A and B are shown apart, each in its own frame.
Chain A
Amino acid sequence: MRVPNVNGDIMKEFIIKNLSLRYSDDNESLRNISLEIESKAITVLFGPAGGGKSTFLRVLNRLNDLADVKEMKGEVIFQGQNILDPKTDVIELRRKIGMVFSRPVPLPLSIYDNVAYGLVMAGEKNKQKLDHAVEQALRQSFLWDEVNDRLKDSAYSLSGGQQQRVCLARVLALEPEVVMLDEPTSALDPIATSNIEEMLGELKQQYTIIIAPHNVQQAVRVADYAAFFLMGELIEFGPGKEIFHTPRDKRTSDYITGRYG
């Protein structure tokens, strides 16, 4: 199924070409972004608020279809297809590209039903398969041991950090290609945050991960590749080590050293 774009040893999950986007209130926008996102690695999008990180993520799974977008140009190639093409099967796309939001938003359902939700919506009825997928996903998000005796409880009975891991588990249950996380730890305490960060290291063996961390420290900790977004522009992109230790652009180094943002 997967169409590998092999360039030497490196596989690209997304190739973004000249992506521009404007909302109808001209608020947050993207300006001519070109970027190639590595497969099975953690790509970090960082920069001050309002820089277009969330918008960028929401273009990749077409969740921005819901927003008041005035104009969008450019290409996003995923598995050989330009997903901005109106003919793209958005439902199918979103099953391959999972997303975790900045606040834990479990659906008002039980833990089990939350994790099984995507599969059930995709038409999976086999109870055994669902059970298996739920267990697998909860194990991957290190939640199984904590909740396996109360899967029928509401997801809202869990702590914030557990809720966020449920949100991750329900994405993983769909066995996506890509997991996107939009400030996934902004509502969590330091311990829950480090749990999630640790998990990312494991997950990148299997998934392409794109994350907009909620501060620079987190960006430094998890990044394989890093992209610095400022006011809708991609200022700099490259391997994390280079970006954080020897940034080429002054704006990047100013931001990293805390001059603004």
Chain B
Amino acid sequence: MNQTRKHDDQLINSVIRITGYSSILFVLLILFFLLREGLPALASTPLKTLFSIRWYPIEGYFGILPLILGSILVTVVATLIALPFGIGAAVYLSEVAPPWIRDILKPIIEILAGIPSVVLGFIGILVFVPFIRKFLDIPTGLTAFTGAILLGLISIPTIVSVAEDALNTVPNSYRQASLALGATRWQTIWDVTLPAAKSGVLTAVMLGIGRSMGETMAVMMVTGNAATMPVHLNSLFAPIRTMTATIASEMGEVAAGSQHYQVLFLIGIVLFLLSLVINIFASLVSTKSRQRSERLLS
């Protein structure tokens, strides 16, 4: 009896261990594949070409700078749009809304997070693009700004959902203690609840940024895909091209192993590095605050 139970335990242990290790293995395999396909680009294409400002692969121009900056521009603006709405909505749901409204809104927002981005891109083309062209009176509505709005909308549900969970885990006793000391509801949210949920809210923001950065289909549909350098103030209202959109639209047409193919994978590596940096930054900030609280609680 005891023997079999011990056996079962070992079995389950090793199954769990294998699934855990396999997730690491898969990531390493993806990384390996990316590096194998993309690194040769550094040999076949001079760095000077790679970091030039012209992307026109048919004629041998492989400047990836406009693509990197395009991605960054769209992501940053999308985050600036999504952040206040996302956090605001999370605070409303968790701190202000009566329970019955929360019970209705939360699932709806979580469904929103699951809408395929191509559908949102479709709405973007039909609604946002003409609206922005007319409203700003510019030649085309396919702009970085259109993409940023759409990406903002796409990442808001993620931010709301994760941030709301984080706010919910803040013990009610904090709120009561603060209110009992004569703080207003708003002071309590700003000075107690949000700081207490800081690491969770930050995770929400990082997930939102990750979602914007990696989003492909919707951006491709509304940003115009012109690989120009977004360095002027009005670049925001001109077409741009992101890294993801470039890979998605060109990968199907290149010969495997060609220089163009290698550079596309190199772009993949850059994308990977960027999201890695964001993730490392996020975990640094959240573990920093966690370590502090752990130290204090011990």
Which residues of A line the B interface, CB within 8 A? Answer: 61, 63, 66, 91-92, 94-95, 98-99, 101, 103, 105-108, 117-118, 121-122, 154, 156-157, 167, 170-171, 174
Contact = CB atoms under 8 A, between A and B. Distances in A.
Nearest to B195: A108
- Give the residue among A61, A108, A117, A171 with the most B Cβ atoms within 10 A: A108
A105 B181 CA distance: 12
Contacts of B18: none
B181 A156 contact: no
Interface string B171-187: 10111111111111001
Contacts of A171: 181
A246 B243 CA distance: 85
B192 A107 contact: yes
Contact of A121 (B173, B176, B187, B296): B187
Contacts of B177: 101, 105-107, 167
A138 to B, nearest CB: 16
A99 B178 CA distance: 10
A94 B293 CA distance: 29
A121 B293 contact: no
A92 B196 CA distance: 25
B1 interface: no
Interface residues of B, number: 22
A91 B184 contact: yes
Given A108-B174, A108-B195, A108-B196, A157 B180 contact: no
Contacts of A154: 292-293, 296
Given A91-B184, A101-B173, 6 more contacts: A107-B192, A118-B181, A122-B182, A154-B292, A157-B296, A171-B181
A107 B178 contact: yes
A239 B111 CA distance: 61
Contacts of A99: 180
Nearest to A153: B296
Contacts of A118: 181-183
Counting from the closest, the 6 A-B pairs by CB-CB distance are: A95-B182, A118-B181, A121-B183, A105-B173, A156-B296, A94-B182
B101 interface: no
Contact of B180 (A92, A94, A103, A156): A94
A121 B182 CA distance: 7
Contacts of B292: 154
B297 interface: yes
In this complex, the member of B171, B183, B192 whose beta carbon has the largest number of chain A beta carbons within 10 angstroms is B183
26 contacts: A91-B182, A92-B182, A94-B181, A95-B181, A95-B182, A98-B181, A101-B176, A101-B180, A103-B173, A105-B174, A105-B177, A107-B178, A108-B174, A108-B195, A108-B293, A117-B178, A117-B183, A118-B182, A118-B183, A121-B187, A154-B293, A156-B293, A156-B296, A157-B296, A167-B177, A174-B181
Contacts of A101: 173, 176-177, 180
Given A63-B176, A121-B187, A156-B296, A170 B181 contact: yes
Contacts of A156: 293, 296-297
Nearest to A171: B181
Nearest to A91: B182
Contacts of B171: 105
A12 B163 CA distance: 47
A61 B178 contact: no
B257 to A, nearest CB: 56
B178 A98 contact: no
A174 B182 contact: yes
A117 B176 contact: no
Contacts of A107: 174, 177-178, 192
B191 interface: yes
A114 B173 CA distance: 14
A99 B181 CA distance: 8
Nearest to B187: A121
Nearest to B175: A66
A170 B178 CA distance: 10
